[in-house]
Each structure stands twice: as structure tokens, then as C-alpha cells.
Amino acid sequence: MMRLQKFLANAGIASRRKAEELILAGKIKVNGQAVKKLGISVDEVNDQIEFNNKPVKLSTTKVYFALYKPVGYISSTTDSQGKSVVNLVKTKEKIYPVGQLDKDSSGLILLTNDGEFTNQITHAKYGCQKEYFAVLDQDLRPADIKKIERGMILASKKLQPAEIVSAQNKSVTIILSEGVNRQIRRMFGQLGYTILKLKRVKIGKLELGDLQPGNYKKIKPSDVI
């Protein structure tokens, strides 16, 4: 038996967190009945699971890709709200983006159909670090560097301390150990800055390197964690 959200993640439908949203929205059926609550376990062999009225099966082949996301693409499995990063990767497996990069940001994003790998990259308890390069509308003040590195409060949530690697000529390199939605833009906005450019350059051990916008490569989990 397996939790339904884990099954959906392992089948490449969505990350575990997004799978929970699909369940709560009533978009998943188990043996013909819509499921609208979490905590349901399924038999991956004998139960029939459907998403959008189509059967969902576990993939036996796990795949992992590193993509240089261009500005203008969304971190989603569908094109319902814009051009999806999934369409930039050619594979027969159903894959989804690991974590988020907003439409106006670029840089390194991972895509996979491995739910356990996704959890290790995105869940705060594992502390997988992500490094970003940002261009601001003004130089970052020393007092604000201290606020960021102490751990800011954002929408009543205490953030983990971030690390400012460098800050000069209106540019900043920053490392995060968690992934709150649009965290960097919101942090700097709260301090009075506007981010003109934001690019993720590293996830775990894996660097963006010489990838070009829109290009991707196959990777192994050990390349990242």
C-alpha cells in the first residue's frame, strides 16, 4: 500500500505537494470514486487510479533532467497559464518540475518522475541549498544583509537564515535552504528593493554550468544530492 499523493508523484503526475492539491480539488479518482481528502492509501497493483478521467500507472523508469529555464516559461505540467517548462524536454516519460521558478525568473530547474528525489530537493527538512544571482535597482545595504542572514519574517513566517555570498554593483548572490513561494522577490521587496533580474545558478551540488536557455541534459540524483 502507498499514500495516494506519493503514488501520483511516483507516477510523474505532479510533485507530492501539488498532488495533494489535486486530491483536495477532487481531480483524482480511486476505483471510480473522486477522492477529496488526504491520507488515503492505495494498492498500486489492484486499485485503479485516474487523473482527468485517464488511468495513472507507475513508471518503472526514473528519469532526471536539468534544464536552463528561459524567462517567460512557467514551472507547471500544463500550458493552462503559460508556456510550460515540460514542453522543452523530450522524453516519453511523464515528468514534472521540481520546485518553482516564477515566470520572470530564469536558470536551473530540475524535472523528473521520481517522487522521493523531489521530496529530498524541495522539503525544508533536507536543507537542499539553492543559489541565485540577482540584479537589483540599487546596492544592497549592509544593514539589510544582516537582516537577511538572521532570517526575515515574511507573511508571519520566520524564514531560515539565508547566506549572502557577494553583494556589489547592484548585484547579489544568495543561497537559500528552503523554498517559500517567490521568496527572494518578496524578501527584497519587503526591504525596499526591486529585482530586475533573477537567475538560479545551483541546486545542491549541481551548477547551471554551460547550459544555454532552453537547453537541458540528463543527470543522476547523485549529481545533485
* Residue 223 DSSP one-character state: G
Residues 29 and 40: their CA atoms lie apart, in Å, by 11
SS3 186: helix
Residues 59 and 224: their CA atoms lie apart, in Å, by 22
Q: Are 193 and 138 in contact, with CB atoms under 8 Å apart?
A: yes
**133 closest CA partner among 184, 64, 71, 205:** 184
Find all residues with CB under 8 Å of 166, minimum gap 6, and list them: 172, 173
SS3 137: coil
Q: How many CA atoms lie within 13 A of 25 on its CB side?
A: 10
For 159, other C-beta atoms within 10 Å of its C-beta total 19
Write out the E strands in 147-194. 153-154, 157-158, 163-168, 171-176
Q: Which residues participate in catalysis according to the annotation?
A: 102
SS3 101: coil
Q: Are 38 and 20 in contact, with CB atoms under 8 Å apart?
A: yes
Cell of 179: 523554498
